[in-house]
Amino acid sequence: MANVGLDIGSTATKCVLWDGARFVYYLTPTGWAPAESAEKAVRMVCRRAHILKREDVHITVTGYGRNIFEADRRVTEITCHAAGARRLAPEATTVLDIGGQDSKVIRIDENGKVLDFLMNDKCAAGTGRFLQNMAVHLGCKLADFCNIPEDTELQPINNMCTVFAESEVIGLLAKGADKDSICLGLLDSVAQRAANLLSRVSDDGDICFTGGCAQNRLLARLIEQKTGRRVITPEKAQFAGALGAAVMEAVR
């Protein structure tokens, strides 16, 4: 029987199928109907793996929407991200996950067991949603935060609260501040928030950077500069939770 790991996030739904020989990945926007997005994700990985019957897979679900989907097993995000990060970056001692709506730091041992963790799910500051909101005010796309010229001068952003940061950005634009400089300042503020979170849980070793924000290599580099630690951004970083859910069931 194949194992399916399903991570229903606030922004994206990730699904990984593991049949003992290969991994099959699928990602879709969560949208306004998380259960439907989850069903679609499971259906797509099964189709790609040429599995015709739902009863031929064991589904483990995690993430923000795990309680709205009928599955064989439900597991917390912390446990799944730890297991997934261990698979993606075995040398890492810490997981930093910055998703659409929350961020978390998890300290793990050499087997991927959770030793300690800290989660910020009460405030959008320092998350993908924060950058998405700022992009709207700047009249740009999230992708523009990944393509900031290297010689850009950083415009410091003093407010991390989303509401006050919005006002600050609008004020800077009114004064003629460069958009790339503001984007760099926003990324720097997210990196500082991540560094502060990391320091409360783990102070040494490599960091496995996961979640949607891990796709931004500049953000990873800023976090490296602020922590003095190596930040590993695996190719499948956004699938860490789903991957962990899939392999966790396989090794039970």
- Residue 37, pLDDT > 70, answer yes
pTM of the shown model = 0.92
pLDDT for 250 beyond 70: no
Q: What is the CA radius of gyration of the chain?
A: 19
CATH 3.30.420.40 in the chain: give the residue spans.
1-89+237-252, 92-233
3-state secondary structure of 82: helix
How large a percentage of the chain has pLDDT more than 90?
76
Residue 57, pLDDT score: 96
Phi, psi of 143 (to 5 degrees): -60, -25
- pLDDT band of 251, cuts 50, 70, 90: low
Helix (H, G, I), strand (E, B) or coil at 23: strand
Tell which phi-psi region holds residue 75, choosing left (phi > 0), alpha (psi between -120 and 50) or beta: beta
Q: Which CATH class name applies to 92-233?
A: alpha beta
> Could you tell me the two tokens for 238?
């956004």
Q: Assign a CATH topology to domain 1-89+237-252.
A: Nucleotidyltransferase; domain 5 (3.30.420)
How far apart CA 210 and CA 170 sit, in angstroms, is 30
pLDDT tens digits, one per residue of 76-93: 999 999 999 999 999 999
Q: What is the mean pLDDT of the chain?
A: 92
Categorize the per-residue pLDDT at 143 as very low, low, confident or very high, splitting at 50, 70 and 90: confident
SS3 192: helix
Sequence length of the chain is 252
pLDDT exceeds cutoff 70 at 122: no
Cα-based angle 46, 50, 56 (whole degrees, multiple of 5) = 60
pLDDT digits (tens, 9 = 90+) for 93-102: 999 999 888 8
Report the pLDDT averaged over residues 182-186. Answer: 95
Q: How many CB atoms sit inside 10 A of residue 54's CB?
A: 12
